[in-house]
Each structure stands twice: as structure tokens, then as C-alpha cells.
């Protein structure tokens, strides 16, 4: 089995072995419900209290100001929806909530839900490098502004917002500020000074999935309304039996992250620079985001002239993302990169390479070699290049060619046929398209030689569903291949028809 180099730490980090051991030990101990008054329950509660201290220390706050959640998404929803629900009737009249158009769906979706409920939603536009200026924020705050919700470090580009400057604007205007720190907690120095709510999660810093926390400033706790109700745990802000094993694991992960953070940040910055220097000399490579105001472990690049899905498909030895983990399986262009000015093709042909605690220089070198190889391979297939037919012409064969589709449609195919009379002697395809399109063209190049020109066929949709596992929604791209073949046939058959062949 091929070893896969993991460069997707921004999606989730491998759980630290020490954390795995701690989590397993708590499960093996068979503790009681931490709400219970018997010994097993008190033992669980004591472990949670210790972990709460470790988690609070990571962001420099009192442990009483934390609410444990299932992750950053739930913490975001509690902060945004819970704050809105706690507004009085006067505050709700014309209430404005603000976010950044390039932020994560876990922030934007609850904000949009408030807009559906009648709140005034203002989505701010960052500059071309992804930064939100304090002046833009200040100018956007209306009289009814109640909450600003922002992501500290963008999960796709790694762009890092200036929290002290933005917090100062909110504080001056008396507007609550919520920060999603999922990508920065444990990786960058972080303070809750001037911040009303701060969300973070264990699985981005070496802990398990399924556990996170929300910091709530003391002055906001009274009005914040719970979104999950039941037994009244955590002072009524988030009901439900606390998962002792996950919280203990979260606490240890936070402690380890805090101990390692200064060294890790410097090491990741060096690896990120090594990665960028290994690719920057390639033609058509574009850096997405700000070169200085960025997290040390995230590098986002777009590549001109290649189709994004085929690029990722060819990088079988790498675990990377084409964007945020929530969007990468959809095939849609990243809204973050589109908002930063990249067109659809560039947004789709992007890679997010994210480094973490386990990343090494050898991992970076593997990534550099693989990306360079795949860019070279795909660009050699591109219809942007002149038709490679010199050897056919030297052999005295007639060359026929035809095209289908175009780049802006996501599929562009040039069919080249070498003819000896009415018989196909060789076939080549130049392709810009998805992996299934490339695979069909490759198979046709081997299947068409020896056939009479008039009998050349692409094949049925059912055949390609089975042969290259093409999803139903991609069968239209097979028709583009057929268009290219038909155009090549048509251009070649005309002389034969005129000659009566």
C-alpha cells in the first residue's frame, strides 16, 4: 500500500499518542456520570475540573468562563444564536449582525439564519489578500449593531485577522465580538482580551473530534441563551451529560499544544517557506492570501492551465484539500477564493497544503515532487499546446483533428487522428478535464487504431459508467469527447466523400 503523506492538518489533526492513551485510560476506568454524587461521579467531575483548567490556560482565562460543546460549530451557534436570543425587545429592533464574506460556513450559516429571522445581516468584503481593515468594520457598524462574528484564521488561505485592532473597534462602539479560533487556538498566541465569545475545538490541535469549547465573557453570560436544553448542566448554558473521556483528552491536548506552541510555530513557518520556495518557480503558480498576516501552517496555491480535480486525483501520495473540508467534496469553486478575485477555473485548481505537529521536511519534499510531476503531466496533455503530430506527418499519414467543449465549461478536448486512407492508424487526445474524461480519452487512444474512420465510436454512457466509474452527472462530459471525435471524423471524411471512397 502506498504511504500517504498527510498535509491536511487544517481539516483535522492526528490525535497525539499521549492524548489517545489518556482517553483510553478514562474509558477503561469506568467512571460514573459527573453529575452524580457518588464516588464514581465525583471522580469524573474532578477529572473534568482539571481538564477545564488546562483548556482555560490555553487562552488565558478563568475556567468558569468555559462551556464545553461538541466542537467549534456548536460553539459558534451557541455564541451567535444564543447572543441574539438574549437581546431585549429594544435591542432587537433593527438589530444588525456582521460577518466576513470569506469566513467559514459554521459562522456564516447561523448569521444567515438570524437574517431569516429579521436581523439585518451585513457581510463585509476583505481586501484582495483576505484582510478586514478596522476602518471597513467601523464604517459598517450601524446604530443597531449588536454582534460581529469573525474567524481569526481563515481555514482555506490561512489569513490571520488583526484581533486587537478589530476588538478595539467593537469595544468603542459597544458591540459584542465573537471569534472562531478553531484554526489558531493552540497554534498561535491567543488572548481573550476585548473578546466576548471565542470558539475552539480539540481536533484542530491534536485532540479528538467531537469536543470543543466556547469562552463566554462574564458580562455576556447572564444574557446568553442556551441552544441545547435539558438537565441544566454547565450552569444551564449547555445541557447534556459531559463526556468525561473527551474532555480529559481535550485538556491534555491543550496543555501539550501550549507547551509546544512557540517551537511549533517557528518550525511550521520554516516548513511552509520550504514548501513555497519549492513551487514558486513553476509557471502559473499563484499564492492565495496574505504573505505575512497568515498562520504558519497553511499554504493555499492556485495553478493556471490545469483542471483541479485531475490535479488532486493525480496526487495519490498526498492527503491535501482543494479548499475547506466542508466544501472540498462538492466540486464547487471555493467561495473564499472567488471572493478574493480568483476565477472559477483558478478557484477549482487550488490546493490547500496544511502542516502540523507531525509534519517534517521530508513530507514537504514529497509534496513538492508530486505537485511538480502532476503539473508537468497535465500541462503536457493540454489543448493549449500545438497538436503533437510531427511524427505522423513524417510517416506520411494524414492528420485529422476536431475539438469539443472549452475551458470555461470545465472540459475541453482535442481529438487527433492519424489516417492511412480511411483507416485510423493512431489516435491522440489533448484534454483539459476531470479524471474520468482523461481516462476515457486514454482508453479511446488505445481502442481507435485499426478501425475504419467511419466506424469510430466513443461508446455508450452505460459503458463509461462501468469502465471508468463516471458519475451520472459527468456523462455530459463524455458527449464533449464525442463532439471532438465527430469533428475530427467530419474533417477527414469530406475528402473521401468527394473522391467517392
Burial class (CB in 10 A: 0-12, 13-18, 19+), 69: buried
Task: Please report, for the chain, how many H helices and E strands are present, in that order.
Answer: 17, 15
Cell of 292: 505575512
Is 434 assigned a catalytic role?
no
Distance CA 268, CA 7 (A): 12
- How many whole angstroms from its chain centre is CA 431? 27
Three-class secondary structure assignment of 396-459: CCEEEEEEEEEHHHCEEEEEEEEEECCEEEEEEEEEECCHHHHHHHHHHHHHCCCCEHHHCCCC
Task: Find out whether 255 and 242 touch, Cβ atoms under 8 Å.
Answer: no
Pairwise CA distance, residues 398 & 396, whole Å: 7
Residue tagged active-site, from 294, 326, 434, 441: 326
Do strands 120-124 and 96-100 pair parallel, antiparallel, or not at all (unpaired)? parallel
DSSP H helices in 86-204: 89-92, 105-116, 134-140, 163-173
Q: Grid coordinates in use for 40?
A: 464514581
Give the C-alpha separation, 170 to 185, whole Å. 21
Per-residue cell: 368 = 513538492
Start-to-end C-alpha separation, the chain: 54
Q: Give CA–CA dist 288/285, Å, rounded.
A: 10
- Non-local (6+) Cβ contacts of 136 within 8 A are 124, 125
Cell of 26: 478514562
Q: Is residue 214 within 8 Å of residue 78, measured between CB atoms? A: yes
Q: Using alpha carbons only, give the angle 293, 299, 305 rounded to the nearest 5 degrees.
A: 125
Residues assigned a catalytic role: 326
Amino acid at each position: 500500500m502506498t504511504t500517504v503523506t498527510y498535509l491536511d492538518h487544517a481539516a483535522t489533526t492526528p490525535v497525539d499518542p499521549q492524548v489517545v492513551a489518556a482517553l483510553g485510560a478514562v474509558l477503561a476506568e469506568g467512571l460514573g456520570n459527573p453529575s452524580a454524587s457518588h464516588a464514581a461521579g465525583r471522580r469524573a467531575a474532578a477529572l473534568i475540573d482539571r481538564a477545564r483548567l488546562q483548556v482555560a490556560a490555553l487562552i488565558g482565562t478563568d475556567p468558569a468562563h468555559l462551556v464545553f460543546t461538541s466542537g467549534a460549530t456548536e460553539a459558534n451557534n451557541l455564541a451567535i444564536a444564543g447572543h441574539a436570543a438574549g437581546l431585549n425587545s429594544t435591542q432587537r429592533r433593527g438589530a444588525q449582525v456582521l460577518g466576513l464574506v470569506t469566513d467559514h460556513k459554521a459562522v456564516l450559516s447561523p448569521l444567515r439564519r438570524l437574517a431569516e429571522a429579521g436581523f439585518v445581516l451585513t457581510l463585509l468584503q476583505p481586501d484582495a489578500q483576505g484582510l478586514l481593515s478596522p476602518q471597513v468594520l467601523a464604517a459598517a457598524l450601524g446604530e443597531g449593531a449588536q454582534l460581529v462574528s469573525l474567524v481569526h484564521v481563515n481555514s482555506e488561505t490561512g489569513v490571520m485577522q488583526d484581533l486587537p485592532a478589530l476588538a478595539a473597534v467593537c469595544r468603542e462602539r459597544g458591540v459584542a465580538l465573537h471569534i472562531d479560533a478553531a484554526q489558531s487556538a493552540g497554534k498561535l498566541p491567543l488572548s481573550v482580551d476585548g473578546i466576548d465569545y471565542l470558539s475552539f475545538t480539540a481536533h484542530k490541535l491534536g485532540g479528538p473530534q467531537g469536543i470543543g469549547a466556547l469562552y463566554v465573557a462574564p458580562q455576556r453570560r447572564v444574557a446568553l441563551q442556551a441552544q441545547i436544553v435539558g438537565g441544566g448542566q454547565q450552569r444551564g448554558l449547555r445541557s447534556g451529560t459531559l463526556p468525561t473521556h473527551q474532555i480529559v483528552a481535550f485538556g491534555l491536548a491543550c496543555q501539550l499544544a501550549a507547551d509546544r506552541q512557540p517551537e511549533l510555530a517557528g518550525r511550521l513557518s520554516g516548513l511552509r517557506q520550504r514548501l513555497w520556495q519549492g513551487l514558486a518557480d513553476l509557471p502559473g503558480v499563484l499564492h492565495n492570501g496574505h504573505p505575512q498576516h497568515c498562520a504558519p501552517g497553511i499554504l493555499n496555491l492556485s495553478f493556471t492551465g490545469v483542471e483541479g480535480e485531475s490535479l488532486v486525483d493525480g496526487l495519490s501520495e498526498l492527503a491535501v484539500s482543494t479548499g475547506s473540508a466542508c466544501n472540498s467534496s462538492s466540486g464547487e469553486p471555493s467561495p473564499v477564493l472567488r471572493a478574493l478575485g480568483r476565477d472559477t477555473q483558478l478557484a477549482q485548481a487550488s490546493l490547500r497544503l496544511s502542516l502540523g505537529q507531525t509534519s517534517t521536511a521530508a513530507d514537504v519534499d514529497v509534496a513538492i515532487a508530486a505537485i511538480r510531476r502532476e503539473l508537468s503531466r497535465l500541462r503536457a496533455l493540454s489543448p493549449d499546446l500545438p497538436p503533437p503530430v510531427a511524427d505522423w506527418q513524417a510517416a506520411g499519414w494524414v492528420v485529422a483533428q476536431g475539438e469539443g467543449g472549452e475551458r470555461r465549461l470545465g472540459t475541453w478536448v482535442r481529438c487527433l487522428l492519424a489516417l492511412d486512407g480511411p483507416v485510423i492508424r493512431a489516435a491522440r487526445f489533448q484534454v483539459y478535464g476531470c479524471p474520468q474524461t482523461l481516462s476515457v480519452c486514454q482508453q479511446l487512444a488505445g481502442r481507435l487504431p485499426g478501425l475504419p474512420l467511419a466506424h469510430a465510436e466513443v461508446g455508450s454512457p452505460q459503458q463509461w459508467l462501468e469502465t471508468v466509474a463516471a458519475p451520472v452527472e459527468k456523462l455530459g462530459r463524455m458527449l464533449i469527447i464525442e463532439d471532438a471525435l465527430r469533428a475530427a471524423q467530419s474533417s477527414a471524411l469530406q475528402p473521401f466523400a468527394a473522391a467517392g471512397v
